[in-house]
A = this chain, B = another copy of it.
Amino acid sequence: MQFNTLILATLTASVLIQSVFADEPIQPITPAKSINAAQAELGKKLYFDPRLSKSGFISCNSCHNLSMGGTDNLTTSIGHNWQQGPINSPTVLNASMNIAQFWDGRAADLKAQAGGPIANPKEMAFTHELAVEVLASIPQYVAEFKQVFGTEKVTIDEVTQAIAEFEKTLVTPNSRFDQWLLGKKDALSADEQAGYKLFKESGCVACHNGAAVGGSSFQKMGLVEPYKTDNPAEGRKAVTGKDADRFFFKVPTLRNVELTYPYFHDGAAKTLTEAVDTMGRLQLGKKFTAEENAKVVAFLKTLTGEQPSFLIPILPPSGDKTLHPQPFNEK
């Protein structure tokens, strides 16, 4: 009885709430559900652990810094041995909502993605075998993997599973825009509301829509007018091999876009003002006035949600037999 009442109440509430934004192209973010908390807790440690890199210096958090919107705020990343990365580091915030991972979508999901950087010679420059060997030599990790997965042996599959589960927690609900969507009409200023109107009426929402305000399709960068860049990335073509897919990139989420500068896959746009101007011209053939641009930017800044909030993880110490990091041996 009580159970049924609860379900009914929930249904009613969600129908009521949904009706508020039923006609909107953007939906509020809902906090992460059905997380395996033990896996996520282990994944958090791994996400912050530089021992997953050859140098012992670079962790996921180096390039997707959760103090800085889940990015490094660099044009392109710094990887092992200070190598210059090929492309701008996208945010991990709300990445679980993406249709696929990476700018070209070459990884199906977060778990498939997480193995990549560990073994990428330009990023963490390690191997899966050595990363697992390091973890298996750290007594507290072995105990935690056993507790979480019920297995004696640490595997790369468990490592990527735990990291992906942690990443699923990295959603950012309750932005001012979401509060407004949910009915709090004074959550946005008049200018911010005007910016949203422009964003809808100009056609931005054709590509940037849904709860993540993006992330749901691959689209051509430079649809109306070509995009000029020195960056050699070809986008989706690298995955499909089709010429028609050249310069198609995953539409980035605009959630927290205030924090994820610089913009575009090459990190060429330093400010939101510049990115909005470029988008208007190149994707829609529309030149915003300075005033319009400022309103759109004001709207975009209302998409900053609650940032991940958790205690800094304390990492288990290495054992006497743990492989030592090798930061300098190839210089």
Give A contacts to B, CB under 8 Å: 48-50, 55-57, 62, 65-69, 72-75, 78, 81-82, 84, 258-259, 261-262, 270-273, 307-315, 317-318, 320, 324-325, 327-328, 331
Contacts and interface: CB of A to CB of B under 8 A. Distances in A.
B74 A56 contact: yes
B74 A325 contact: yes
Count of identical protomers in the assembly: 2
A57 B80 CA distance: 12
Contacts of A324: 75, 262, 270
A324 B156 CA distance: 37
Contacts of A259: 317
A318 B270 CA distance: 10
A189 to B, nearest CB: 17
Given A78-B57, A82-B81, A82-B82, A69 B312 contact: no
Contacts of A74: 56-57, 325, 327
A317 B270 CA distance: 13
Given A48-B67, A272-B320, A307-B314, 4 more contacts: A57-B62, A74-B325, A81-B82, A270-B320
Contacts of A56: 72-74
Shortest 9 CB-CB distances between A and B: which pairs? A82-B82, A271-B320, A307-B314, A67-B315, A57-B78, A259-B317, A84-B328, A78-B327, A68-B315
A69 B317 contact: yes
